[in-house]
Structure 1
Amino acid sequence: MTNRVLILGGSGRIGSKVAADLLAHTQASVTIAGRNLTKGEQKSDDLGSRVQFVTIDLADQKALEAAIAQTDVVVHCAGPFHYRDAEVLKLCIQQGADYVDVSDHPSFTRKVLDYRAEAQAAGVTAVINTGIFPGISNSMVRRGVEQLDDAEKVHLSYVVSGSGGAGITVMRTTFLGLQRPFKAWINGEWRSVKPYSDREVIEFPAPYGKVGVYWFDMPEAFTLPDTFPVKTVITKFATVPTFYNYLTWSVARWWHPSWLRNSAVIEFLSHVSHFMTDVSDRFSGIGVAIRSEVTGTKDGQPMRCCSTLIHTDTAIAAGYGTGTVVELLLSGQLKKPGVWAIEQALPTDLFEQVMQSRGIKIQHQLMR
């Protein structure tokens, strides 16, 4: 029997990369879903004969339920997730379909984690926060923690070149992340942190080199301390070219918070930024760099485990991060009923196996 995968938001930049990954690494029949018929049919034609498109608005519960009822795994790529509820996951639990998403906002993560008991009772495996960051980055942290006897601190830094190839959605996500202070786990307690504050210069692999990164609200900021007994988790982000960071910093620092809670303002900022990156992408590229550093002890000695990854296309890398999880679910290698952040669900041996199959090279260094 052919496995069936439904990708919500499948005609978008990230969703279509997930579809491409599944076509390359599984025999699944893939349905991509979205609201734009013309765009969706063109994307399905581009992807090939194993892909079909269906028009679905997430607000149309009956159409969504009917589509999920015919599916083995549902992949939720319809962001930004700041605005989403847990309805897709609820329908998956009702229909017995496994669930994967590329969610990247803490508010949504908390909503879906509330359904862990229901998913466990239904035998449904739901893996959230997959993609590149969060996603592959979380599994890099898990590997680092496992290299130490005791882990005390996690420092995650991300850099994206221009748009990252992810379209306007990533612009919306960035500006929505500036709306209000957030809680960070620092020295064993939750502290309020201002978004895009506390610039810190981090050394990334070539071609990035030294880049100033800033606090950013990410779901791994609370899923990692929930998963591992660490005292501090730092999540910082930046874009290149560097002048984009100064623009984002000025918005976070000087614009009145009420402006950033206005959807029209967010759309204006997103479209202006997207226009700018259409130009700068031509010389900056659309790649991504991740640096994970886990600090702790090994054999009674202070030790750090540093892992780095670079890829020339952020959207493709995100497709790998999500596609690998779906592949493992379809093959039966990953089965853990409940709702889990990626680092809670994916064992390191499987993570390394699927990364190798995609040609993803992660550099590791254990040092004092």
Structure 2
Amino acid sequence: MKNRTIGILGASGQVGRGAVETMLGSAEFPIVLGGRNPEKLREQYRRAEPRAVFMHVDVYDSESLRRFTGSCDVVINCAGPSKQVLDRVASACLEHGVHYVDVSGDEHLYKRLRSANREIEEKRLTFLVSAGVYPGLSEMFPAYVAETGLDEVELLELFFAGNGGFSLNAAYDIVCSIQEDTGRGMMYGKNGEASKMDRPFPRSYPLPPPAGERNVYPVLHDEFLSIARSRRFREAMFYNTYPDNAILNKFMTIKALELYKTEEQKLASARMLVEQFGAYKQPAQAYSMFHLLAEGRKDGKPLRLGATLLYNNDWNTLSGMVAANAARLVLEDGGRAPGCKYAAEGVSPVNMMNVLGEQDVHLAHSVMEARAGVNHERT
């Protein structure tokens, strides 16, 4: 296992740094760091030598991409924007028989790669899409809570909050997602299907510290719906949260005015989002949080369960950590469950939570037993 090599693309960005630092701090795998300026990478990661090899790679140059993927056993793709990179890196990995982990990608890339799923399976490869925080951890966390705390889930509500910023590439991807309507507002999962919000939901919610009171907006992505369907959550809601409505209004303005029809409009909208998120970013108080509420049954008993996942750093760093750990778990699995999958379905949520718990990601939970109309709290 120690001889298996992990390649990381986009290592100079904040997400990529999270992946590199996770690999350097928690595993002995050799790593190959690829980018258009390998000397800059070498300077950035001097402490990684001699474990690390630095290679020139341009994801838009097929020959350099083939050389890079051919030197790896699994590739973590943190390069972006994913809406432009598309399946270039994944296709090179498939050609060389290399496992693939994409920190973003979402359902757009997933659908592209599913068309090659037979070849991926025949080569005993695992291709993971959406292996970041949101989507990614936003599905792994509720799957973990359900697997360890409940036999049946009647109702699940998941809130996401954080204090961090976006790179221009990430903001560009968000604008493209608004254009494609991949995140459907005012929708939730009901009996495994997408449904318009037809039940009461909180317009604001008091989250645990450091988030506090946040404005709430329900949104449904295919990844979240997929995990709700596979885990048989009867009703499942995901809420993005905001310190106030200014950011949400920016999203709605981009959608309503269709500020994405040309490349110039997409870039201008992306810059607007970067600026808006930057106004709230406070590096000294960066955090990423998921707060979950669920109702269901365990051993035949009705339960109400609450759980909070907190990482006291930026969500970009956490995305890199999730992707790096997903790559480790893929290698440890040895291709026993091949195919193209969303990350939450391709790695064990329990194993992911266990390794994140060793890397300063904090989990807290409480269980309320409903007996004869009286709730008893357990921690």
Q: TM-score, normalised to structure 1's length?
A: 0.84
1:24 to partner: Cα distance:
1.0
Distance verdict in 2 for CA 1:214–1:360, change over 3 Å: same
Question: Counterparts in 2 of 1:202-351, with a 5 A limit?
Answer: 202-216=205-219, 218-239=221-242, 242-243=243-244, 245-253=245-253, 256-275=256-275, 277-278=277-278, 280-282=280-282, 285-313=285-313, 314-332=315-333, 335-351=336-352
Q: Match for 1:234: what amino acid?
A: M
CA RMSD of aligned residues (A): 2.9
Q: For 1:160, which of 162, 171, 177 is the aligned residue?
A: 162
Q: Distance in 2 between matches of 1:348 and 1:255?
A: 34
1:19 to partner: Cα distance:
0.9
The DSSP-based 3-state class of the residue aligned with 1:222 is helix
Q: Distance in 2 between matches of 1:221 and 1:349?
A: 17
1:208 to partner: Cα distance:
0.9
Unpaired runs of 5+ residues, structure 1, are none
Equivalent position of 2:373 in the other structure = none
Q: Match for 1:228: what amino acid?
A: R
Equivalent position of 1:138 in the other structure = 139
Bigger shift: residues 1-10 or 327-336: 327-336
Q: Distance in 2 between matches of 1:185 and 1:136?
A: 18
Equivalent position of 2:376 in the other structure = none
Contact persistence 1:141–1:294 (CA under 8 A)? no
Bigger shift: residues 305-314 or 87-96: 87-96
Q: Distance in 2 between matches of 1:145 and 1:113?
A: 27
Contact persistence 1:141–1:293 (CA under 8 A)? no
1:125 to partner: Cα distance:
1.8
Q: Match for 1:324: what amino acid?
A: N
1:71 to partner: Cα distance:
0.6
Distance verdict in 2 for CA 1:36–1:232, change over 3 Å: farther
Contact persistence 1:160–1:286 (CA under 8 A)? yes
1:74 to partner: Cα distance:
0.6
1:253 to partner: Cα distance:
4.6
The DSSP-based 3-state class of the residue aligned with 1:177 is helix
> How many correspondences in the alignment?
359
Contact persistence 2:163–2:282 (CA under 8 A)? no
1:14 to partner: Cα distance:
0.4
Equivalent position of 2:94 in the other structure = 93
1:38 to partner: Cα distance:
6.4
The DSSP-based 3-state class of the residue aligned with 2:241 is strand
The DSSP-based 3-state class of the residue aligned with 1:132 is coil
Unpaired runs of 5+ residues, structure 2, are 371-379
Q: TM-score, normalised to structure 2's length?
A: 0.82
Distance verdict in 2 for CA 1:258–1:356, change over 3 Å: closer
Aligned residues: percent identity?
19
Equivalent position of 1:11 in the other structure = 12
Q: Match for 1:88: what amino acid?
A: V
Contact persistence 1:119–1:337 (CA under 8 A)? yes
The DSSP-based 3-state class of the residue aligned with 1:296 is strand
Contact persistence 1:180–1:257 (CA under 8 A)? no
- 1:56-107 Cα offsets, whole Å, 9 max, x none, are 2222222212211111111111233333433322332331211111115322
Equivalent position of 1:57 in the other structure = 58
